[in-house]
Structure 1
Amino acid sequence: MSELSTLLDELETELREQGFWSDVPPSPEALASAQPFAVDTLTLPEWLQWIYLQRLRALIEADLPLPTGAQVRPYAEEALKFEKRSTQQLLVIIDRIDGCLGKP
């Protein structure tokens, strides 16, 4: 799990460096979305920051089983395809996290 923890830290750093990080959380209603990746209420960077990172870190800290078969990279590619800033390193980190979480 230490590799995953390191990758989560790298993801946070990349989100910050790219200017995607926010100090203001989305509304509780936005965070409560039942849609995959909260596509109806959050941008990909918001979902990564406020849901994905927090849930994975909480599972690691509680020594609970991690989800398997994560496939965030394909969604991230689609969600970021019109982004003006470079997102290649962000996609590489997401892909490595997907790899750590294995196949379903």
Structure 2
Amino acid sequence: MTDKHIAVADILLDLEAALRELNLWHSEPPSAEALASTAPFAVDTLTFTQWLQFMFLPRMHTLVTGRGTLPVNCAIAPMAEEYFRPQSLDASAVLVQLQRIDTLLS
């Protein structure tokens, strides 16, 4: 495993912890149909936090553990900022982790 894979793995753990701390971790997975979305961030079927938990995190874990090729351009933090902006929730811990991922992979 490369240093970059290890760094991504650490950030993914921190991201999961941040989602759990804000009670944004979902106990039930979305339907198979919802997960089959081809829209960016699955905006047509999932909330942003569902996309993070059920699509982004598993895919990144697979790449890290399988030592796969990591994305070379990542811009998730701006989407997260838009998602959390109208909410009365301090999501700064989640945003920090997503910015770390964006910086590391871009």
TM-score by length of 1: 0.95
Gaps of 5+ in 2: none
Aligned residues: CA RMSD: 0.7
List structure 1 runs of 4+ shifted beyond 3 angstroms. Answer: none
Does residue 93 of the first structure (1) align with residue 97 of the second (2)? yes
Gaps of 5+ in 1: none
Moved more, 83-92 or 47-56: 83-92
1:63 — aligned with what?
A: 67
Question: Could you tell me how far apart the structure 2 residues matched to 1:57 and 1:100 are?
Answer: 15
Does residue 24 of the first structure (1) align with residue 28 of the second (2)? yes
Alignment of 1:1-104 (within 5 A): 1-102=5-106
Give the drift of 1:84. 1.4
> How many aligned residue pairs are there?
102
TM-score by length of 2: 0.93
Question: Could you tell me how far apart the structure 1 residues matched to 2:63 and 2:7 are?
Answer: 14
Give the drift of 1:26. 0.3
Is the contact made by 2:6 and 2:64 (CA closer than 8 Å) also made in structure 1?
A: no
Question: Could you tell me how far apart the structure 1 residues matched to 2:92 and 2:101 are?
Answer: 14
Give the drift of 1:98. 0.7
Give the drift of 1:89. 1.4
| Identical amino acids, percent of aligned pairs | 40
